[in-house]
Amino acid sequence: MRCVSNAEGMLSADGVLGGNPLFYFIYNAVAHIAPCWLSYLISGLVIMLILINAVLLGAAVVSWGERRLLGRFQNRVGPNRWGPFGAFQPIADLAKLITKEDIVPYGADKLAFTAVPIIMVAAVLLGTAVLPFAKDVALVDLNVGVLFVLAVSSLTSIAIFTAGWASNNRYALFGAGRAVAVLLSYEVPVVLSLLGVVMVAGSMSLGDIVAAQAVPFFLVQPLAFFVFIAGMSAELNRTPFDVAEAESEIIAGYHTEYSGIKFALIQAAEFGGVLVVSGLIATLFLAGWAGPAADWLGWLWFLIKVFIGIFLFVWIRSTYPRLRLDQIMAVCWKFLMPLSIINLVAVVLEVFFLRDANGSLSTADLWIMAGINIVLAGGSILFFGRFIKEKVRTEAPTAAATNQVVPGVSTIGMR
């Protein structure tokens, strides 16, 4: 107890970790037998351990859920052998992958090759640090939360590029080149779409953004929601933007050469990435933990919203074919870019005219914005959708001039 009432004000538990009660509890318990600085360290590590395990377990659940869902979408069963509904399948997979030989290909840069899975998992874990799982439950409620999330999610592109380079494999190089091009391009509309969110919420802290959502932001800024989901699909390398690991073209892209535990970590990072991005979507656009009895049931609402996001990603993945790299670039720069700029301009104008004296927006203001923006979103998506259709379609040559149709045979032509 002596540490909490720390007279010198050093290493106090107050004010860190958002006043997390679990942190207080562990801190106080450990403080009975350990010095202050050690109990501070231990309680921090315990929280991190819990979070890391939660994310990795979450990734396992996502991988199982995705495979079950894909099974349902595709008229088949999906994993159903071990555990109820095959729920222990990820454990079996992990056991298999861990016991496999850990191969570093000939000519690979061993250090860089090994570092890649670690960087990828670390980036995902860092992303979870600022997510508010429930009211006031976040590892840290940074006041630059949005910026932090964007920064750590960009770490992945460095890891992917390293993987492609270090593998000494040409398919990996293709995958890395494609991935970096896609990731760098899609960063731009994603950031622009989030600017609108930050502007309306008036804060970059994820906790404040949730609190500001009297009306969920997917209604207030449907364009930003759309651009964010599309951009995040690209950043997660999921269809229709999965050129970086296009299985049918370049084997597995940047992680072609990875096997064993390294492959398991990359998979964990990918499914964890889906989890984190779904968490971000829930936080930024679906009002996070907000819901009936949010003080007690906030975690439940958050979880449900995260699952909505995951379901959306799986649904998209199981439905659409893949676009070509140049078409993906066209979609980014000629479709998502203008949309995010339109959203930004509209939000700037709306905030400028609707804000009250101290610069905040009332619920009514938000509803007005929602009304205007939904119409705007429909219109601009239709307009630019038609535009992009013309742009990405390869010019079809004129009907083959040398058609040699034999007369007198019943034939059905096209269209």
Give me the residues that bind other proteins (CB under 8 A), please: 70, 73-76, 170-171, 173-174, 239-240, 242-243, 246-251, 317-327, 389, 392-397, 399-406, 409-414
- Residue 204 Cβ vs other proteins, minimum distance, rounded to whole Å: 35
Whether 367 contacts 215, CB under 8 Å: yes
Cβ closest to other proteins, residue 355 vs residue 391: 391
Comparing C-alpha atoms, which of 239, 262, 188, 224 is closest to residue 66? 239
In angstroms, the CA 1 to CA 14 distance is: 13
Q: Given CA atoms 341, 343, 346, 349 in this order, what sign does their dihedral have?
A: negative
Cβ closest to other proteins, residue 363 vs residue 404: 404
- Residue 173 Cβ vs other proteins, minimum distance, rounded to whole Å: 8
Cβ closest to other proteins, residue 358 vs residue 410: 410
Side-chain-side CA neighbours of 207 within 13 Å: the count stands at 16
Comparing C-alpha atoms, which of 222, 237, 101 is closest to residue 180? 237
- Cis peptide preceding 240, ω within 30 of 0: yes
* Residues 6 or more apart in contact with residue 4 via CB below 8 angstroms: 12, 13, 24, 27, 28, 31
Cβ closest to other proteins, residue 5 vs residue 394: 394
The interaxial angle of helices 363-392 and 337-354, nearest 10 deg, is 160
- Residue 72 Cβ vs other proteins, minimum distance, rounded to whole Å: 11
370 — phi, psi (to 5°)? -60, -45
Q: Where are the alpha helices (DSSP H) in 236-362?
A: 247-250, 260-285, 294-319, 325-331, 337-354
Whether 235 contacts 269, CB under 8 Å: no
- Residue 408 Cβ vs other proteins, minimum distance, rounded to whole Å: 9
Cβ closest to other proteins, residue 69 vs residue 124: 69
- Residue 327 Cβ vs other proteins, minimum distance, rounded to whole Å: 6
- Residue 172 Cβ vs other proteins, minimum distance, rounded to whole Å: 11
Cβ closest to other proteins, residue 177 vs residue 231: 177
Cβ closest to other proteins, residue 266 vs residue 328: 328
97 — phi, psi (to 5°)? -65, -35
Q: Which residue's structure tokens are 């909505």?
A: 308
* Residues 6 or more apart in contact with residue 326 via CB below 8 angstroms: 392
167 — phi, psi (to 5°)? -75, -20
- Residue 164 Cβ vs other proteins, minimum distance, rounded to whole Å: 13
Token pair belonging to 153: 């999610």
Cβ closest to other proteins, residue 42 vs residue 392: 392
Q: What is the CA radius of gyration of the chain?
A: 24
Cβ closest to other proteins, residue 142 vs residue 176: 176
- Residue 322 Cβ vs other proteins, minimum distance, rounded to whole Å: 2
